[in-house]
């Protein structure tokens, strides 16, 4: 899919239905919230949500007092939904409308969170580009939290093919320099009532 049509796909996905009806919607963003809170050393930790869209993770982290939050997404329409929902609180968050593979991070983060975005990278070259950008954007000692469809999860998400993962396949993409610290499965119940198996992996960047 071309860059333009990918952007169009996602802007359409976010605008043709209510954001609470999309299959990936979570009222309570778990286990992401628990994992971020557990691995963030303090409330000033720099946290980025890659492909965060209109996720309520940012709201929940603001509620807990986290002060250095960035949300990056290809679809400007999704960021608009989140900003409108947050009102004035949105001004304390950095919003980046970009393809994760196209933008070099301008700073380094303590925590890099990604739920259901990395799994759209089905080409090895794109996965390696993501890994390169992760190296640019995550501090040494920083934490990567990656949630993807599990090996027994759906083959498509939002009508697009995905690459299903567990911690072993992600370790393979990351290679040296990332130490697996935790892995867990998660059953996501979609608004339509279907169960999707997710796999979450937490890695620490060792150097
Ligand atoms: C399945 S949704 C998950 C949204 C959010 N992470 C959540 O858990 O609710 C995938 C998100 O990734 C975004 N996305 C897809 N490909 C992307 C890319 N290459 N760069 C940045 N964002 C992307 C989409 O716009 C969408 O918001």
Ligand 1: residue of 20, 69, 73 to mutate (most ligand atoms within 8 A of CB) is 73
pLDDT category of residue 190 using cuts at 50, 70 and 90: very high
pLDDT value of residue 3: 75
**pLDDT at 1 exceeding the cut of 80:** no
Q: What are phi and psi of 35, to 5 degrees?
A: -70, -45
**pLDDT at 127 exceeding the cut of 90:** yes
Domain ranges of the chain: 3-16+29-205
Q: What are the Cα distances from residue 90, in Å, to 26, 63, 96, 100, 145?
A: 19, 12, 12, 21, 23
pLDDT category of residue 202 using cuts at 50, 70 and 90: very high
Name, in order, each residue with C-beta under 8 angstroms of 80's C-beta and a sequence gap of 6 or more: none
pLDDT tens, 171-180?
999 999 999 9
pLDDT tens, 36-64?
999 999 999 999 999 999 999 999 999 99
Q: Quick one: tokens of 81? A: 């939904």
pTM over 0.95: yes
Cα(18) to centroid of ligand 1, in Å? 16
Q: What residue owns the CA closest to ligand 1's atom 20?
A: 99
Mean per-residue pLDDT over the chain, rounded: 97
Q: What residue owns the CA closest to ligand 1's atom 14?
A: 51
Largest CA distance in the chain: 43
Q: What residue owns the CA closest to ligand 1's atom 3?
A: 116
pLDDT category of residue 207 using cuts at 50, 70 and 90: confident
Query: What's domain 3-16+29-205's superfamily in CATH?
Result: Vaccinia Virus protein VP39 (3.40.50.150)
pLDDT category of residue 2 using cuts at 50, 70 and 90: confident
For ligand 1, is residue 101 a contact (CB within 6 Å)?
yes
- 3-class SS of residue 129: helix
Cα angle 111, 85, 192 (rounded to 5 degrees) comes to 85
Ligand 1 nearest atom to the CA of residue 114, by list position: 6
For ligand 1, is residue 31 a contact (CB within 6 Å)?
no
What is the dihedral angle through the alpha carbons of 30, 25, 75, 121, rounded to the nearest 10 degrees?
70
pLDDT category of residue 29 using cuts at 50, 70 and 90: very high
Strands 195-205 and 138-149: what pairing? antiparallel
């Amino acid at each position: 899919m071309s860059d333009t049509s990918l952007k169009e796909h996602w802007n359409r996905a976010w605008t043709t239905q209510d954001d609470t009806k999309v299959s990936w919607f979570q009222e309570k963003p778990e286990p992401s919230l628990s994992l971020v809170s557990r691995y963030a050393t303090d409330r000033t930790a720099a946290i980025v949500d890659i492909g965060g869209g209109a996720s309520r993770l940012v709201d929940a982290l603001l509620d807990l007092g986290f002060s250095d939050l960035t949300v990056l997404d290809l679809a400007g329409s999704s960021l608009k939904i989140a900003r409108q929902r947050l009102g004035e609180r949105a001004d304390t968050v950095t919003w980046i409308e970009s393809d994760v593979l196209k933008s070099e991070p301008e700073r380094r983060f303590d925590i890099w969170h990604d739920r259901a975005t990395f799994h759209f990278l089905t080409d090895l070259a794109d996965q390696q580009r993501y890994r390169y950008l992760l190296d640019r954007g995550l501090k040494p000692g920083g934490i990567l939290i990656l949630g993807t469809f599990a090996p027994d999860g759906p083959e498509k998400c939002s009508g697009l093919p995905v690459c299903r993962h567990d911690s072993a396949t992600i370790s393979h993409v990351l290679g040296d320099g990332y130490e697996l610290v935790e892995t867990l499965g998660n059953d996501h119940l979609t608004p339509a009532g279907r169960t999707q198996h997710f796999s979450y992996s937490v890695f620490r960047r060792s150097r």
